[in-house]
Chains A and B, each alone.
Chain A
């Protein structure tokens, strides 16, 4: 057994204290033959500090495309020659999407907009949309609308949005290579306001943006410092027309190492499989991740791409004897 795994067994599994950046790096650089042991330990940590439940979420794009920001991985930036066109979802369709999500047993429905931050039109659409969902669908509503002002944070709380997603995307040192139209610190400031408001903080990122393994470890440590309720872990799905359109996808074993390492850095967080797992890991990888520290999934489609069918994911959870977290457990 590698020394770092012995250390993690005592420190993380035994005491619930996450690994620091050096420890995460040690896990990320474990040889292949140690990967099963790392995943097993990460699974034990998840079971001990989070329990067997899996939180299921659906996401939908309220406003797609035409974003003024230049996040190099994103097909929704209006600054790249991406084929994604700008489109808005109407309220009845938004409610229908929430119903589809709830029908899977999901407790979370996240409304996402491709914007730098919300304007008055988007906030009005949100207010009407959240009210309509709450009137008709038994599900928790989360939001992801970019950078917020304090007034907008307060308004979202008033609407009943219980969790806010704002990904840091990558570590602080690499962020300027990925986004130039705003800073990592601006994102951090929104996260600070969200936390102080009482909303749950959802913050993760994307692996495979060209960052080094050391920067992956840096990112995990920075997320651990933020201590979010939820960390969505995406793997880059290179999108045509974006600056990262030709970036190679993360190798499956590296993705699994990252899952184990992020769990060992954050033993109590909700660690969610988000976009790109189908490309990076396929069906078998989904199972390995759920047995390696992941305790939440996005079911169904993503914002501009398609995912595994919700039925396949739910069948897998049943097979793994992992109960879907009930809505009553989230309130």
Chain B
């Protein structure tokens, strides 16, 4: 399985992981507030899905899935890969 674990606070900051450390405010699967409601189903689903929302700003990301991985680009916060 090539799933990525839920985003850590550090990963949520910037592509280069610089800047202040913050808790991701948004769920990168459903785009809802990460601290509101139960996101266990989102985390489970993310085992077989790339992220769709930027965890930092909630923008929908441009996601490309390829046979051996994926990339997800937020226009504001850069690219994540898995």
Q: Which residues of chain A are within 8 angstroms of B43 by Cβ–Cβ distance? A: none
Given contacts A279-B48, A301-B69, A307-B48, contact A84 B2 (CB under 8 A): no
B81 interface residue per 8 A CB criterion: no
**Closest Cβ neighbor of B67 among chain A residues:** A300
- Contacts A83-B53, A84-B52; A306 near B3 (Cβ below 8 A): yes
Question: Interface residues of A toward B: which range?
Answer: 20 to 34
User: A306-B3, A306-B70 given as contacts; is B65 within 8 A of A85 (CB)?
Assistant: no
Between A60, A87, A310, A312, the greatest number of chain B beta carbons within 10 A of the residue's beta carbon is seen for: A87
Please tell me the size bucket of the interface on B.
20 to 34
Closest A residue to B69 by CB, please name it.
A301
The verdict on B36 contacting chain A, using a C-beta distance below 8 Å, is no
Q: Which of A89-97, A129-137, A150-158 contacts B (4 or more CB under 8 A)?
A: A89-97
What 0/1 pattern do residues 35 to 63 of B give for CB contact below 8 A with A? 00000000000011110110000001111
Contact across chains for A240 and B66 when beta carbons are under 8 A apart: no
Give Cα A190 to B43, complex, Å.
40
A97 / chain B contacts, CB cutoff of 8 Å:
66-68
13 A-B pairs within 8 Å (CB atoms) are namely A59-B67, A60-B66, A83-B52, A83-B60, A85-B60, A85-B61, A85-B62, A89-B64, A97-B67, A301-B70, A302-B65, A306-B3, A308-B1
Closest to B62 in A: A87
B contacts, CB < 8 Å to A: 1-3, 30-31, 47-50, 52-53, 60-70
Question: Please, how many angstroms separate the alpha-carbon atoms of A190 and B47 in the complex?
Answer: 36
B67 touches A100 (CB 8 A): yes
* Contacts A305-B48, A305-B49; A83 near B65 (Cβ below 8 A): no
Counting chain B CB atoms within 10 Å of each CB, the highest count among A84, A299, A302, A310 belongs to A84
A295 at the interface (CB under 8 A from B): no
* CB atoms of A87 and B60 under 8 A apart: no
Q: Considering the chains assembled together, what is the distance between the CA atoms of A191 and B69 in angstroms?
A: 31
User: CB within 8 Å of B: which residues of A?
Assistant: 58-61, 64, 83-87, 89, 93, 96-97, 100-101, 104, 237, 240, 278-279, 299-310, 312
Q: How far is the CA of A301 from the CA of B3 in the complex (A)?
A: 10
Tell me the bound Cα distance from A96 to B61 in angstroms.
Answer: 22
Measured CB to CB, the closest approach of chain A to B54, in angstroms, equals 11
CB-CB under 8 A from A104, the residues of chain B are: 67
Which chain B residue lies CB-closest to A299? B67
Min distance, Cβ B69 to any Cβ of chain A, angstroms: 7
Q: How far is the CA of A328 from the CA of B50 in the complex (A)?
A: 35
Complexed CA–CA distance, A300 and B49 (Å): 12
Name which residue of chain A comes closest to B46, CB basis.
Answer: A306
Instruction: Give the most central of A85, A237, A309: most B CB within 10 Å.
Output: A85
Chain B residues with CB under 8 A of A279: 48
Task: Report whether B61 and A309 are in contact in the complex, using a CB–CB cutoff of 8 Å.
Answer: no
| A239 to chain B: closest residue by CB | B49
Q: How far is the CA of A201 from the CA of B39 in the complex (A)?
A: 42
Contact A85 B48 (CB under 8 A): no
CA distance A93 to B66 in the complex (A): 9
Measured between beta carbons, the chain B residues less than 8 angstroms from A302 are 65
Further 16 A-B residue pairs, CB within 8 A, beyond A84-B63, A310-B67: A61-B64, A64-B63, A84-B52, A87-B64, A93-B64, A97-B67, A104-B67, A300-B67, A301-B67, A301-B70, A304-B49, A304-B50, A304-B63, A306-B1, A308-B1, A310-B68
What is the CA–CA distance of A84 and B31 in the complex, to the nearest angstrom? 12
Q: Which chain A residue shows the least CB distance to B53?
A: A83
